[in-house]
Copies of this chain bind each other. A is one copy, B any other.
């Protein structure tokens, strides 16, 4: 951490800052410039509260030098984390597709989708049983019944299951039925939930908050890692900006940035990232070209009857065609799919 002192700071102020830092067992380094004095902290600055330093007499601003996450960083672990799941390796050379409807509605719907996935070689089925919805008057998901349908259809077709968990006390229940536990965008900073997932050791798909920075996403991953669970995937799913034509703005930059900063697999969700089925295919192709390790795509046999997110769901025919397109792009960037 670098502490920049005010032009008006007295020598006693400088000494006050130095003393405070030394209380934490760290050393300092002074640099007196023409306009301002600057104090550098030598050692691991992470335990020091930046805001506390900002309130010391004579301090103008405090600039962190190290990123605040550690276990999630490439500095800590250089090689890619690969998560294996019934033969599918996420984070490795193959781009992995997870697909299915936004919400589980009934067994027949899930079977229709599962059959399509099976035909095109997709091995992971998605579907929501617990649905966080903006309105209390909207369909909230089938709950436990939805989980049972997922597990049943998954085992019938030999597909792994990814589904959302929304409360810490539901973690054991959902983990009974699902292979990957998804943290939704509204829960990225639900720390009680992250804590529970850290202890449960089931693979986690952590979605970026709709208005969370990449650093905050990495900090939320750090919560799970620091509680002992290292099998975490990060998911870019679009952020909120001033643009209203699309539901969200898919942050394509996030993909190469995360691949450079962390060893964890990076998944793209072009369905939420655009909110419009017409755009999903082209943004999915872009995500693969940018280096995503996987895709999360909404597919619904009858989007015009979907109980949620119909506008962004692909019909099966379109999804099948998209898989062909994605394979070509994956090969062009030296990956498989």
Inside 8 A of A189's CB, which chain B residues have their CB? 132, 134, 186
Residue of B nearest to A61 (CB): B65
- One digit per residue, 1 when the CB lies within 8 angstroms of any chain B CB and 0 when it does not, for chain A 63-84 equals 1011011000001000000000
* Cβ-defined contact, A242 with B245, below 8 A: no
A323 within 8 A of B: no
Q: Which of A212, A253, A291 has the most CB of B within 10 A?
A: A253
Q: Which of A245-280 contact B (CB under 8 A)?
A: 245-246, 249-257, 260, 273-274, 277-279
A119 within 8 A of B: no
A31 within 8 A of B: yes
Measured CA separation A304–B303 after assembly (Å)? 43
Residue of B nearest to A216 (CB): B134
* Cβ-defined contact, B274 with A245, below 8 A: no
From the candidates B43, B56, B274, B290, name the one contacting A304 in the complex (CB within 8 A).
B56
* Cβ-defined contact, A251 with B260, below 8 A: no
| Copies of this chain assembled into the complex | 4
* Cβ-defined contact, B249 with A249, below 8 A: yes
Q: Which of A24-62 contact B (CB under 8 A)?
A: 29, 31-36, 38, 40-44, 46-47, 49, 51-52, 54-57
Within the complex, the shortest CB–CB distance from A102 to chain B, in Å, comes to: 10
A142 within 8 A of B: no
Q: Which of A4, A42, A44, A51 has the most CB of B within 10 A?
A: A51
Stretch at the interface among A106-114, A150-158, A199-207, A329-337: A329-337
Inside 8 A of A66's CB, which chain B residues have their CB? 35-36
